[in-house]
């Protein structure tokens, strides 16, 4: 006999552990499956999150913070530099520890968290409805039943494929990333750097995020459609050589960041997708940690209500997508539009935008950045970008 749960969450990244934590706190009998032997490892992430983004979910624990960020440096293709002072802008996490602690919080709230437990398929009952998950657990095949299944299995999500939800990604809908953890580098300990330019990082950007103790996450995101088959790592090597005179590569990682697609629904019958599995990502920056936590939290709350009530029809679960869109839909759609403009910008356009911003913001202290008014101001300042916007919208 297979064991029965109210809900199974596939994946113990930020999205899955947050969903598991909320479900368990609500008394739901939940199983969280993680394919790797250790939560949080291997990791593909630059680990940045805004102060307000993180603190809206969990009290900050200095143990899993690598550095606190108070400054942002933006560098244009022809080296126009703009530095903002933003007290408490955000954090560079120690995500290996952060992910582990979040999974521990789910477990201490009552979730059953299993590592070395890879979902390998969905189970269907005689009526053809999804009713559980097949799992390869420590090398043995097992079956677990559940009323609801949450796919939190990241950018390569198999849950979405097994459920017949089309989440395949075109070459223009993914950012291909490469990153090094560098040691012995000279960086400002509380300043993140962003470098732009279509030859430096076609359809993307490079970043330098200080990790403390002369270490930094140095990475690149590119749009594969625009790279004429050169790999992200080749662009990154060029950038690292140019930016640093001294460095040691102590870790190397690669990964993909999906772009949000407003036309994809994240609920099918009793299957819900959260985090990267559902492409809940800011398409301009590639930021997904906050969105993973947010979507996991909302999914956890909606599924808890569904399970506890016991009489609700499965269509109630659509409330997850509606609530997520109410909370974040406008910004997710806005960043998708910004990305479409961004992909058409030339190096001269980047120079013009950063020069414009420099006039107003260079060395200024800001306490919060509202992205929509800021981008509107930039667009109004630049007739070509305004033209691109009109072209894309109409």
Ligand X SMILES: Cc1cc2nc3c(=O)[nH]c(=O)nc-3n(C[C@H](O)[C@H](O)[C@H](O)COP(=O)(O)OP(=O)(O)OC[C@H]3O[C@@H](n4cnc5c(N)ncnc54)[C@H](O)[C@@H]3O)c2cc1C
Q: Which residues bind ligand X (CB under 6 A)?
A: 10-16, 33-36, 44-49, 118-119, 152-154, 158, 177, 179, 219, 255, 257, 275-277, 281, 286-290, 292
Which residue lies nearer to ligand X by CB, 36 or 362?
Answer: 36
**Closer by beta carbon to ligand X, 154 or else 385:** 154
Minimum Å gap between C-beta 52 and ligand X is 13
Helix or strand run (H / E) with residue 192 = strand 191-195
Measured from the CB atom, the residue of 153 and 349 that comes closer to ligand X is: 153
Q: Which two tokens stand for residue 331?
A: 């910004």
- Smallest separation (angstroms) from ligand X to the CB of 292: 4
Which of 39, 84 has the CB closer to ligand X? 39
**Of the candidates 197, 213, 216, 193, the residue with the CA atom closest to the CA atom of residue 205:** 197
- Taking the complex as a whole, the smallest distance from the CB of residue 53 to ligand X amounts, in Å, to 8
Structure letter (DSSP) for residue 177? E
Record the tokens describing residue 58, joined without a space.
């969990």
Yes or no: say if 14 and 296 are a contact pair by the CB < 8 Å rule.
yes
Phi/psi for 215 (5° steps) reads -110, 155
Indicate the residue among 33 and 259 with the shorter CB distance to ligand X.
Answer: 33
Residue 209 Cβ vs ligand X, minimum distance, rounded to whole Å: 7
Q: Name which of 216 and 352 has its Cβ closer to ligand X.
A: 216
Residue 48 or 317 with smaller CB distance to ligand X: 48
Spatial CB neighbours of 81, under 8 Å, sequence gap ≥ 6: 73, 74, 75, 358
CB of 151 to ligand X, least distance (A): 9
The CB-nearest residue to ligand X is: 288
Least Å distance, CB 49 to ligand X, is 5
Alpha-carbon gap, residue 243 to 82, rounded angstroms: 16
Q: How far is the CB of 144 from ligand X (least distance, A)?
A: 12
Between 163 and 177, CB nearer to ligand X:
177
Residue among 319, 303, 300 nearest 106 (CA) = 300
- Judged by beta carbon, residue 48 or residue 148, the one nearer ligand X is 48
Distance, in Å, from the CA atom of 35 to the CA atom of 153, rounded to the nearest integer, reads: 9
> Angle 36-39-45 (CA atoms, 0-180°, nearest 5)?
100
Query: What sign does the CA torsion over 72, 73, 77, 80 have?
Result: positive
* The 48-50 sheet, strands edge to edge: 48-50, 81-93, 65-75, 191-195, 205-212, 215-222, 174-183, 248-258
Residue 174: in which H helix or E strand, if any? strand 174-183
- DSSP for 119-155, written as a single string: EEEEEE-TTS-EEEEEEEETTEEEEEEEEEEEE---T
**Which residue's CB is nearer to ligand X, number 46 or number 307?**
46
CB of 94 to ligand X, least distance (A): 13
Q: How far is CA 272 from CA 153, 184, 201, in A?
A: 11, 44, 34
* Shortest reach from residue 388's CB to ligand X, in Å: 26
Distance, in Å, from the CA atom of 80 to the CA atom of 12, rounded to the nearest integer, reads: 41
Q: How far is the CB of 43 from ligand X (least distance, A)?
A: 8
Compute CA distances 110 → 13, 293, 295, 302, whole Å: 17, 19, 20, 18
């Amino acid at each position: 006999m297979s064991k029965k749960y109210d809900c199974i969450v596939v994946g113990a990244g930020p999205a899955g552990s947050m969903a598991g934590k909320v479900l368990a706190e609500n008394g739901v009998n939940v199983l969280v499956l993680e394919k790797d032997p250790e939560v949080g490892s291997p990791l593909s992430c630059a680990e940045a999150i805004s102060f307000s983004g993180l603190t809206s979910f969990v009290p900050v624990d200095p143990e899993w913070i690598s550095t606190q960020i108070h400054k942002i440096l933006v560098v244009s293709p022809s080296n126009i530099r703009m530095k903002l002072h933003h007290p408490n802008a955000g954090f560079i996490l120690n995500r290996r520890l952060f992910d582990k602690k979040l999974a521990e919080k789910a477990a201490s709230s009552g979730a059953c968290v299993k590592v070395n437990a890879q979902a390998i398929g969905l189970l269907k009952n005689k009526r053809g409805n999804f009713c559980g998950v097949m799992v390869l657990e420590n090398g043995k095949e097992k079956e677990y039943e559940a009323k609801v299944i949450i796919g939190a299995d990241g950018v390569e999500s198999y849950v979405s494929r097994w459920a017949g939800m089309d989440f395949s990604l075109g070459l223009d809908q993914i950012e291909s990333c490469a990153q090094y953890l560098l040691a012995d580098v000279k960086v400002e300990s509380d300043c993140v750097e962003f470098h732009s330019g279509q030859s430096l990082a076609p359809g993307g950007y490079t970043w330098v995020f200080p990790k403390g103790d002369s270490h930094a996450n140095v990475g690149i995101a590119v749009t594969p459609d625009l790279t004429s088959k050169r790999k992200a790592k080749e662009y990154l090597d060029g950038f690292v050589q140019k930016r640093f005179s001294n460095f040691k590569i102590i870790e190397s990682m690669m990964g993909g960041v999906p772009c949000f697609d407003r036309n994809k629904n994240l609920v099918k019958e009793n299957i819900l997708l959260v985090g990267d599995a559902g492409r809940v990502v800011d398409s301009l920056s590639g930021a997904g940690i906050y969105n993973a936590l947010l979507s996991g939290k909302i999914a956890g709350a909606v599924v808890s209500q569904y399970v506890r009530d016991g009489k609700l029809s499965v269509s109630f679960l659509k409330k997850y997508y509606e609530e997520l869109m109410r909370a974040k839909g406008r910004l997710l759609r806005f960043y998708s539009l910004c990305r479409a403009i961004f992909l058409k910008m030339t190096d001269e356009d980047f120079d013009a935008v950063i020069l414009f911003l420099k006039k107003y913001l260079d060395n200024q202290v800001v306490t919060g950045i509202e992205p929509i008014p800021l981008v509107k101001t930039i667009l109004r300042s630049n007739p070509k970008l305004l033209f691109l916007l009109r072209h894309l919208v109409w």
